[in-house]
């Protein structure tokens, strides 16, 4: 999982601002995922993409948007419509649809005040 | 959709004891069950996984068992060490090839 990078590690924003979190992988993986982690809540799926130029909503997509223009990159935008954006955000990738094993990036801790 | 329940939410053991964490799932079509370990502030790391055609899998001090009939699977850690202290997550596949995660178990191993 050293091949998945997320930046920055910590991010601070004012309420009402959109913010984009970066996720890059050099593992040649087809599928990429975004999760949100809150204390005691486990990992909840925001969006996922199993192939370039295609992505699907996960369980908590409201207030978030993504793009998948390149195989290596899957940026997540947290919009001002997300009511409670402060959380730890994790990106993951897996080799291809149907292989299931997911490998995580180091995460970005977003704080919105 | 898939629902994964994980118990207990916290588990305290003495060094050298065994630890068992249990998960149940709802979708009988689930066929892959990974376990992740997450240390404080770090990324989740895959430590062991099992597929539906296997009942048990071992890797040194950790093992996972699967009971498809009862729809539950468990993580077993023997001879626990302080460095095993972390949050452990189970997960199960859904029909769209994504994973549903349990809410996690905080394992504390006291020296």
Q: Is A89 at the interface with chain B, CB within 8 A?
A: no
Report CB contact under 8 Å: A100, B96: no
Using the predicted structure, report yes or no on whether residue A63 has a pLDDT greater than 90: yes
Burial class (CB in 10 A: 0-12, 13-18, 19+), B102: buried
Return d(Cα A62, Cα A59) in angstroms, integer.
9
Per DSSP, A65 falls in state E
Q: Is the dihedral of CA A44, A20, A92, B30 positive or negative?
A: positive
- Are residues A32 and A91 in contact, defined by beta-carbon separation less than 8 angstroms? yes
The nearest alpha carbon in chain B to A43 belongs to B101
Q: What is the pLDDT of residues A8-57, one digit of tens each?
A: 999 999 999 999 999 999 999 999 999 999 988 889 999 999 999 999 99
**What percentage of chain A carries pLDDT values higher than 70?**
98
Query: How many residue contacts between A and B have a Cβ separation below 8 Å?
Result: 51
The nearest alpha carbon in chain A to B32 belongs to A100
Q: What is the pLDDT of residues A67-112, one digit of tens each?
A: 999 999 999 999 999 999 999 999 999 998 777 899 999 999 999 9
Using the predicted structure, report yes or no on whether residue A2 has a pLDDT greater than 60: no
The nearest alpha carbon in chain B to A101 belongs to B34
The nearest alpha carbon in chain A to B37 belongs to A104
**What percentage of chain B carries pLDDT values higher than 90?**
91
A31-64 as b/e, with b when 16 or more CB fall inside 10 Å? Answer: bbbbbbbeeeebbbbbbbbbeeeebeebeebeeb
Return d(Cα A98, Cα A51) in angstroms, integer.
12
Q: Provide the shortest C-alpha distance from residue A30 to chain B (in Å).
A: 13
- Are residues B89 and A28 in contact, defined by beta-carbon separation less than 8 angstroms? no
Return d(Cα B111, Cα B92) in angstroms, integer.
32
pLDDT at B73 (0 to 100): 97
Q: Is the peptide bond before A69 cis (omega within 30 degrees of 0)?
A: no
pLDDT at A72 (0 to 100): 97
Report CB contact under 8 Å: A31, B97: yes
Burial class (CB in 10 A: 0-12, 13-18, 19+), B33: buried
Q: Which of A30, A39, A43 to mutate to test the interface with B (most CBs of B within 10 A)?
A: A43
Return d(Cα A89, Cα A60) in angstroms, integer.
13
Q: Is A33 at the interface with chain B, CB within 8 A?
A: yes
- Are residues B65 and B72 in contact, defined by beta-carbon separation less than 8 angstroms? no
Report CB contact under 8 Å: B34, A97: no
Report CB contact under 8 Å: A98, B97: yes
For residue A69, give the nearest of A99, A41, A49 by alpha carbon: A49
pLDDT at A98 (0 to 100): 73
Q: What is the pLDDT of residues B56-80, one digit of tens each?
A: 999 999 999 999 999 999 999 999 9
Using the predicted structure, report yes or no on whether residue A1 has a pLDDT greater than 80: no
Q: Is A10 at the interface with chain B, CB within 8 A?
A: no
Higher pLDDT, B40 or B96: B40
pLDDT at A39 (0 to 100): 86
């Amino acid at each position: 999982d050293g091949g998945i990078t997320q930046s920055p590690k910590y991010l601070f924003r004012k309420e009402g601002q959109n913010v984009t979190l970066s996720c890059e992988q050099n593992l040649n993986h087809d599928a990429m995922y975004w999760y949100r982690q809150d204390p005691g809540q486990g990992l909840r799926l925001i969006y996922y993409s199993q192939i370039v130029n295609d992505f699907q909503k996960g369980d908590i997509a409201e207030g978030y948007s993504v793009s998948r223009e390149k195989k290596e990159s899957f940026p997540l935008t947290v919009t001002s419509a997300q009511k409670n954006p402060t959380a730890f955000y994790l990106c993951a990738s897996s080799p291809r649809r149907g292989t299931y094993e997911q490998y995580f990036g180091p995460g970005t801790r977003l704080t919105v005040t | 959709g898939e629902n994964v329940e994980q118990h207990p939410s916290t588990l305290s053991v003495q060094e050298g004891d065994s630890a068992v964490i249990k998960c149940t799932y709802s979708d009988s079509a689930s066929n892959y069950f990974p376990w992740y370990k997450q240390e404080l502030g770090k990324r989740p790391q895959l430590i062991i996984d099992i597929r539906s055609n296997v009942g048990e899998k071992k890797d040194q001090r950790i093992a996972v068992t699967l009971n498809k009939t009862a729809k539950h699977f468990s993580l077993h850690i023997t001879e626990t060490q302080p460095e095993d202290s972390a949050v452990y997550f189970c997960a199960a596949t859904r029909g769209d090839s994504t994973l549903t995660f349990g809410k996690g178990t905080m394992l504390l191993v006291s020296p």
